[in-house]
């Protein structure tokens, strides 16, 4: 058995070698024996020898230097211990490929004294010298392995080994494997964070005048003697004489320079405004924000420098991207679509104090952020943004962080003169939804004006079709018309089809002719699986209950929304499942369910179904796994929708659509490799041109035939696609945006997602 596996390994390894490597292998003296014996171990050793000996690619001295340099430059950094060991051993193998050694003669002498006290290396026998060289190499590699490991985790270990040697104890490991075990078992030191885990760090704050504590006892001042005027009842800082003198001095200064220009006054005022930088700050608002704005100043994360600015940013109207913040915090209500209170709170720390908020908000196409209207600016944490989008930095031109959105558009956070990276919200880059403005990218201002003029012209002449409008322009039926055919085409690309024309002219399309092309169940499948065993359970999505089942071998999945968990609802859902199987000639003999379904036992027995329940705290693995698959599909679909909240009808349809497509393809381990569970249970074969024309959640103008038809009511209605019905006619379910009701209809005019 072992020989067979070695030969199989040999075939696998030689098959992965390139033609050039195979050519070099065949030139080796030992190749004939290795090839004859198909020795995989010897083959790997030969490949290793050839790979490390790269003198045909670069000079041998240079190759040796580079290999040793790579070894000495290796640092563990954030790599785990196992990967660090593998990397270290690989570099050691490369550096010693030419029978070289890394250790010095001094280490050889030390090891000789340890193993053979009183002897010199030259006096040893050849066998003992070889043993000393091996021990010296192991000792040197062990020390190198420890001191090139992570300084953050094992720096303290290196210091302890040095201190131990100073005390007369040599605790350094003498071989690599011992060093590996030592760092694995060592209780690595981790620096404690100065900020609680439930808090965040942001970077901008505003401060007001220092306020004295409310409970401060100043009654002693009434008995104190002022050192300025000598009167009793106040202290020198509160002396009225000082205030009068300072006021007089100010008035005197004003009279001395009556001709001072307004520009000089503004310049002096700007010099008083300073931007301070600190290592750690937060968004803090003072209690009297409205009355102390003139005395407030800003504090931003930087390196402890002080700088003055003559052109401060309007922080309330921009979005800052900060690499020192750990939380996203917004203050401008215009930038968020929804604000709500949460059960939890976030405390943001800084050098000026703390800010605690229990409010969150939603930024469209980004996610949830913390919200506090008293914060001074809107903050996006660079760490959080990098977790959602790809971020690059361009230091050549504008010095900007560039956030690359999935729709191939970029959001630029450019550098301000004071070093902060901000996004100007006047730019629509922050929107992640396709709009007319984004569809206008690539067109000049003049082309956009011409497209708008073409759309207006279509309205002026009574909404003719696009084809008729082009004929009017081509035949010059309206003289001096500035609209061209190209303008009409550009208008359609930018604005899409005219909604007014759709609502006024749409007629019902002739339904497709239904052909009876049902797939018959192969006799061998029906005979082998006539008696079906189901696994069933309840699952919840947004606290809405659904009853799910899956058959053992056919693996047909069902999911039905139920109003409640009462006995009659569960029995009714079970009857619906039984009817599906009965229609195709199958019989449900038994059902496997959790212990909580024991009350169904007698009702199911009357239907000819034996209920088998599990013990306490146990579950049926097959249905639990399938429920997880359903939820994964639903979750994937939900995150493609641009809606914050969806109605119950859409949620139910989302689950039904997910189950429909799960059944549409043959599962692994099923009864057939080419017939899906849906083929077997319904006989319907899906067609791309019929059933794959609309994505769930897409916006359409669906036909709605008014009754009577000779009214001014619209012929179409805005609707959301809820997925295919699964019938042969290729109908789809739609959610009427006017009534909120769901109804089946044929595809009429597919449009983009709702914005």
Q: Which two tokens stand for residue 134?
A: 């091996």
Name residues of the chain where pLDDT drops below 50. Answer: 55-56, 191-198, 203-214, 246-261, 263, 265, 268-310, 428-434, 747-755
Give the pLDDT of residue 202.
Answer: 54
Strand, helix or coil for residue 187: coil
Give the pLDDT of residue 273.
Answer: 39
Strands of 650-739 (E only): list them.
698-703, 716-724, 732-736
Give me the sign of the Cα torsion angle 460, 462, 467, 472: negative
Give the pLDDT of residue 289.
Answer: 36
Give me the residues paired with residue 590 across strands: 533, 610
Number of continuous H segments (helices) and E segments (strands) in the chain: 25, 25
Give the pLDDT of residue 441.
Answer: 67
Contact 314, 237 (CB under 8 A): no
Give the pLDDT of residue 259.
Answer: 44
Per the confidence metrics, is the pTM higher than 0.85? no
**How many of the other CB atoms lie within 10 Å of CB of 18?**
8
Give the pLDDT of residue 250.
Answer: 37
What is the arrangement of strands in the sheet containing 610-613, beginning at the earlier edge strand?
A: 557-561, 544-551, 531-541, 587-593, 610-613
**How many of the other CB atoms lie within 10 Å of CB of 651?**
17
Give me the residues paired with residue 538 across strands: 547
Q: Regarding beta strands 544-551 and 557-561, do their DSSP bridges make them parallel or antiparallel, or are they unpaired?
A: antiparallel
Percent of the chain at pLDDT > 70 equals 76
Exposed, middle or buried by CB within 10 Å (0-12, 13-18, 19+), for 223? exposed
Separation between Cα atoms, residue 145 and residue 532, nearest integer Å: 62
Q: Residue 513 to residues 510, 516, 720, 728: CA-CA distances in angstroms?
A: 9, 10, 25, 9
DSSP alpha helix (H) spans, 273-395: 382-388
Question: Which long-range contacts (C-beta less than 8 Å, at least 24 apart) are formed by 186-190?
Answer: 186/154, 186/157, 188/150, 188/153, 188/154, 188/156, 188/157, 189/153, 189/155, 189/156, 190/153
Give me the residues paired with residue 709 across strands: none
Separation between Cα atoms, residue 157 and residue 639, nearest integer Å: 48
Give the pLDDT of residue 282.
Answer: 35
What is the arrangement of strands in the sheet containing 749-753, beginning at the earlier edge strand?
A: 742-745, 732-736, 716-724, 698-703, 749-753
HSE value, Cβ hemisphere, 13 Å, CA-based, for 109: 3
């Amino acid at each position: 058995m072992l020989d067979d596996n070695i030969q199989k390994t040999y075939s696998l390894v030689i098959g992965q070698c390139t033609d050039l490597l195979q050519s070099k292998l065949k030139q080796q003296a030992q190749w004939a024996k290795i090839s004859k014996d198909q020795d995989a171990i010897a083959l790997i050793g030969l490949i290793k020898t050839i790979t490390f000996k790269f003198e045909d690619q670069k000079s041998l001295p240079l190759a040796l230097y580079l290999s040793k340099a790579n070894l000495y430059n290796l640092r563990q950094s954030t790599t785990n211990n196992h990967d660090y060991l593998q990397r270290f051993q690989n570099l050691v193998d490369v550096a010693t490929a030419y029978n070289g050694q890394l250790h010095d003669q001094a280490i050889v002498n030390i090891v000789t004294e340890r193993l053979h006290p009183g002897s010199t290396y030259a006096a040893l026998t050849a066998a003992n010298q070889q043993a000393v060289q091996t021990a010296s190499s192991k000792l040197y590699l062990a020390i190198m392995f420890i001191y090139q490991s992570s300084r953050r985790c094992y720096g303290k270990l290196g210091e302890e080994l040095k201190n131990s040697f100073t005390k007369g104890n040599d605790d350094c490991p003498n071989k690599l494997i011992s060093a590996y075990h030592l760092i694995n078992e060592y209780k690595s030191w981790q620096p404690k964070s100065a900020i609680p885990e439930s808090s965040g760090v942001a970077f901008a704050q505003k401060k007001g005048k220092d306020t004295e504590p409310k409970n401060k006892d100043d009654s002693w001042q009434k008995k104190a003697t002022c050192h300025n005027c000598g009167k009793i009842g106040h202290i020198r800082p509160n002396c009225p004489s000082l205030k009068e003198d300072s006021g007089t001095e100010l008035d005197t200064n004003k009279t001395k320079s009556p001709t001072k220009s307004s520009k000089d006054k503004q310049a002096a005022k700007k010099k008083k405004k300073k931007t301070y930088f600190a290592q750690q700050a937060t968004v803090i608002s003072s209690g009297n924000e409205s009355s102390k704005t003139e005395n407030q100043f800003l504090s931003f994360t930087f390196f402890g420098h002080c700088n003055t600015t003559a052109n401060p940013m309007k922080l309330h109207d921009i979005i800052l991207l900060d690499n020192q913040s750990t939380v996203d915090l917004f203050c401008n209500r215009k930038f968020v679509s929804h604000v709500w209170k949460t059960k939890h709170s976030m405390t943001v720390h800084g050098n000026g104090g703390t800010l605690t908020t229990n409010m969150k908000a939603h930024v469209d196409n980004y996610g949830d952020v913390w919200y506090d209207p008293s914060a001074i600016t809107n903050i996006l944490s660079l760490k959080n943004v990098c977790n959602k989008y790809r971020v690059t930095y361009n230091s050549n031109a504008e010095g900007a962080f560039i956030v690359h959105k999935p729709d191939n558009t970029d959001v630029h956070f450019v550098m301000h003169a004071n070093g902060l990276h901000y996004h100007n919200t006047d730019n629509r880059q922050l929107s992640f939804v396709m709009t007319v403005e984004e569809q206008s990218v690539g067109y000049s201002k003049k082309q956009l004006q011409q497209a708008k003029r073409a759309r207006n012209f279509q309205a002026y002449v009574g909404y003719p079709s696009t084809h008729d409008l082009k004929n009017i322009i081509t035949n010059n039926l309206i003289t001096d018309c500035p609209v061209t055919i190209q303008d009409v085409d550009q208008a359609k690309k930018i604005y899409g089809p005219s909604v007014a024309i759709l609502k006024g002219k749409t007629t019902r399309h002739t339904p497709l002719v239904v052909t009876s092309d049902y797939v018959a169940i192969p006799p061998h499948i029906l005979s082998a699986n006539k008696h079906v065993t189901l696994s069933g359970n309840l699952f919840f999505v947004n606290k809405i209950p659904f009853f799910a089942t899956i058959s053992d071998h056919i693996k047909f999945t069902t999911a039905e929304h139920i109003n409640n968990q009462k006995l009659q609802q569960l029995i009714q859902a079970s009857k619906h499942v039984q009817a599906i199987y009965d229609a195709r000639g199958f019989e449900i003999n038994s059902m496997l369910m959790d212990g909580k379904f024991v009350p169904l036992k007698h009702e199911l027995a009357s239907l000819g179904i034996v209920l088998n329940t599990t013990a306490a705290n146990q579950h049926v693995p097959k249905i639990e796994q399938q429920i997880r698959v359903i939820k994964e599909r639903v979750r994937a679909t939900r995150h493609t929708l641009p809606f914050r909240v969806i109605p119950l009808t859409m949620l139910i349809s989302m689950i039904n659509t997910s189950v429909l497509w799960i059944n549409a393809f043959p599962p692994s381990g099923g009864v057939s490799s080419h017939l899906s569970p849906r083929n077997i249970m319904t006989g319907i074969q899906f067609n791309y041109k019929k059933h794959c024309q609309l994505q769930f959640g897409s916006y359409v103008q669906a036909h709605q035939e008014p009754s009577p038809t000779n009214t001014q009511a619209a012929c179409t209605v805005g609707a959301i696609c809820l997925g295919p019905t699964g019938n042969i006619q290729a109908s789809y379910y739609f959610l009427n945006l006017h009534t909120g009701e769901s109804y089946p209809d044929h595809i009429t005019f597919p449009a983009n997602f709702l914005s």
